[in-house]
Amino acid sequence: MRCPRCDSTYIVRCGKRETRRGNRQQYHCNNCGKRFVYNPFPGKTYRPKIIVDSIKLYYSSHTLSETSKKINQRYKANTSSSTIHNWIDEFKDVCSYSNKRKEHRDEYDPPFIESITFYHSDLRYDFRYHTGKLQDASPYRSNVVDFIRDVPDICPHELFNKDYPEMKRASNQDLKFSARPNTYRTKNQACQLADLSLRANYDRKKRHDQVEEFMLTCDGATIAAELPVWFYDKEQETSITGHVDLVQLRSGKVFLLDYKPDAEKKEPLSQLYTYCRAFSYRTETPLKQIRAAWFDENTYIEFDPTQLHIE
């Protein structure tokens, strides 16, 4: 969320304000002092969660009428097929899966997303992948597709246990590099998808899951979320494990993405480089065909892992 006056992200909550739609959360900008009520969908009369969930349901394989019926039952709302269609049409440039949705509905049986829950180090990870997008990728990325499909059967869950004596997490890696990579910074479709998904509910504890689920469902390039990766590092003499937030296939390369709130202030090079090494080893994908990036709703930062050299 950004201040509508100065575009600052230094925002805090400061009570409620009574509006025509009831009590709304009020915010205060610590940068310029402005107080405001955040309106994620200006001009819309429906709640943000209804709009975002409608888009997600539609791209999950439901028809317009099915989506409207489910939304009305879930939220006691009064949407129509034409209302849902207007929302889909408004955000179709952001949701690039619109180009494949009809084709997948004709060829594959819903649901399109397979989900398996893992408990690693007492934390819940919902590993998910999109069956239709994987099928499309099979002819030219068979190793990647096979690995993603086989993960539930081949994942060595004991390595992910915090009590396992020879395990290190990729997120805790602090590698020293002799050369820094050139980073490519932009605001791209990943940022737009994150922004759209977070308009429904800006709950800090649920941000990761909201962004991952929305991108897997509505983005044409995202094929998997919370993918476990692991490998044995001979130099450190230890097993290293991690969970890649999002895996994309685009422009002939594999992209490993990590959602990081306040991305501009962070630089998780060690973590993402470790993900790339583990993914490369597990899928037999050359490192030069992999790109890594971290992002939030405002910034996307990408680098080539082959430019990093450990001291």
On whether both 153 and 260 belong to a single domain, the answer is yes
Residue 41's pLDDT is 87
Could you write out the DSSP letters of every residue in 228-288? EEEEEETTTTEEEEEEEEEEEEETTEEEEEEE-TTGGG---HHHHHHHHHHHHHHHT--GG
Could you write out the DSSP letters of every residue in 161-209? -TT-TTEEEGGG----EEEPPPPEEE--HHHHHHHHHHTS---GGGHHH
73-81 contact pairs (CB < 8 A, 24+)? 75/47, 75/49, 75/50, 77/46, 77/47, 77/50, 79/46, 79/50, 79/54
* Mean pLDDT of the region 68-76: 96
Would the pLDDT of 24 be above 80?
no
Would the pLDDT of 280 be above 60?
yes
Q: How many CB atoms lie within 10 A of CB 192?
A: 18
State the Cα–Cα distance between residues 110 and 100, nearest whole angstrom: 14
Closest CA to 60 of 128, 125, 130, 126: 130
pLDDT band at 51 (very low <50, low <70, confident <90, very high): very high
pLDDT band at 221 (very low <50, low <70, confident <90, very high): very high
On whether both 183 and 245 belong to a single domain, the answer is yes
Would the pLDDT of 11 be above 90?
no
On whether both 65 and 123 belong to a single domain, the answer is no
Q: Under the phi-then-psi rule, with left for phi > 0, alpha for psi from -120 to 50, and beta for the rest, what region is 226? A: left
**Residue 248 near residue 223, CB atoms below 8 Å:** yes
Q: Would strands 290-295 and 253-259 be described as parallel, antiparallel, or unpaired?
A: parallel
Would the pLDDT of 246 be above 60?
yes
Tokens of 152: 């539930």
Whether 99 maps to a domain, the answer reads no
* Mean pLDDT of the region 65-71: 97
Residue 39's pLDDT is 76
Residue 20's pLDDT is 59
pLDDT digits (tens, 9 = 90+) for 251-275: 999 999 999 999 999 999 999 999 9
State the Cα–Cα distance between residues 59 and 212, nearest whole angstrom: 14
Residue 131's pLDDT is 96
On whether both 23 and 9 belong to a single domain, the answer is yes
On whether both 168 and 283 belong to a single domain, the answer is yes
State the Cα–Cα distance between residues 68 and 4, nearest whole angstrom: 32
Would the pLDDT of 17 be above 80?
no
pLDDT digits (tens, 9 = 90+) for 73-122: 999 999 999 999 999 999 999 999 999 999 999 998 888 999 999 999 88
Match 């050359």 to its residue by tokens.
286
Whether 72 maps to a domain, the answer reads yes
* Mean pLDDT of the region 118-139: 95
Would the pLDDT of 3 be above 90?
no
On whether both 182 and 197 belong to a single domain, the answer is yes
Of 90, 125, 153, which one is at a domain's C-terminal end? 90
Q: Across-strand partners of 117?
A: 126
On whether both 72 and 183 belong to a single domain, the answer is no
On whether both 223 and 265 belong to a single domain, the answer is yes
Residue 197's pLDDT is 96
On whether both 189 and 274 belong to a single domain, the answer is yes
Residue-number span of the structural domain to which 54 is assigned? 43-90
Residue 167's pLDDT is 80
State the Cα–Cα distance between residues 290 and 214, nearest whole angstrom: 23
On whether both 165 and 267 belong to a single domain, the answer is yes
On whether both 28 and 56 belong to a single domain, the answer is no
**Residue 193 near residue 211, CB atoms below 8 Å:** yes
Whether 108 maps to a domain, the answer reads no
Whether 7 maps to a domain, the answer reads yes
* Mean pLDDT of the region 193-200: 94
State the Cα–Cα distance between residues 288 and 88, nearest whole angstrom: 37
The total number of structural domains that make up the chain: 3
Whether 279 maps to a domain, the answer reads yes
Report cis status (omega within 30 of 0) of the bond before 286. no
Whether 239 maps to a domain, the answer reads yes
State the Cα–Cα distance between residues 229 and 15, nearest whole angstrom: 43
Model-level pTM?
0.90
State the Cα–Cα distance between residues 223 and 246, nearest whole angstrom: 8
Q: What is the mean pLDDT of the chain?
A: 92
* Mean pLDDT of the region 63-69: 97
The fraction of the chain above a pLDDT of 70, given in percent, is 97
Whether 96 maps to a domain, the answer reads no
Give the chain's length.
Answer: 311
Tokens of 80: 């129509």
On whether both 285 and 158 belong to a single domain, the answer is yes
Whether 101 maps to a domain, the answer reads no
pLDDT digits (tens, 9 = 90+) for 146-173: 999 999 999 999 889 877 767 889 999 8
Residue 268's pLDDT is 96
pLDDT band at 22 (very low <50, low <70, confident <90, very high): low
Q: What is the 3-state secondary structure (H, E, C) of 44-92?
A: CCCCHHHHHHHHHHHHCCCCHHHHHHHHHHHHCCCCCHHHHHHHHHHCC
